[in-house]
Structure 1
Amino acid sequence: MDVHGDKAHGFAVTDRKSITIRGVTQVGAFDEVEIYMVTVRGPLLLRGEGLQITQLNLDDKVLSVEGRIDAVQYVEEHSPQNLKQKGKNLLERLLR
């Protein structure tokens, strides 16, 4: 049994070529070099090259990404307002 209940969060990186992140509740802005997301443990920024989201299941709170992984950084400077603004980029990309 998970001590944190639905607050389970973690990630696994394989050969710096892929990453699976658990506990993702929202995905904001993303492109080939940066993906901003909110997890149950706070905002998280993923940086690299050629990043592509291969799985996004917000019901299960799982995000998988392929590409070269350079950095995984917890950030605090992004407010929920900034996430909403960045989320518009996501919608624009999906509606193209």
Structure 2
Amino acid sequence: MGTLGTVLSALLAFDAAALTVTAALVVTALVVIGVMAGLNARDRRLADERRRRSAMRTNLALVAVTSILRKQPLLGAATGIAVAALLGLSRGRKRSDDR
């Protein structure tokens, strides 16, 4: 009977140690998942803020351009012609012998 009690107490001690290790691993996994969720939420907020800033800059540029075009239409037309000319020149001219 003495050896059976010793074996049972050794098994119970082993089970307690295994349960403790298992509980520690589960808690660690939950902490890691929580940290990852927090970082993901922070990254999402930062991306949203960058998108808002970019949209605000675009809107500000459009307001500035429309304001200039409304106040000085000739300057707007000249700018449009200059941009079209630059885009046309950047493509290069084709020679007749390249065809």
Bigger-Rg structure (1/2): 2
Question: What TM-score do the two structures reach when normalised by structure 2?
Answer: 0.24
Higher helix share: 2
Q: TM-score, normalised by structure 1?
A: 0.25
Q: Which has the higher contact order (CA 8 A, sep 6+)?
A: 1
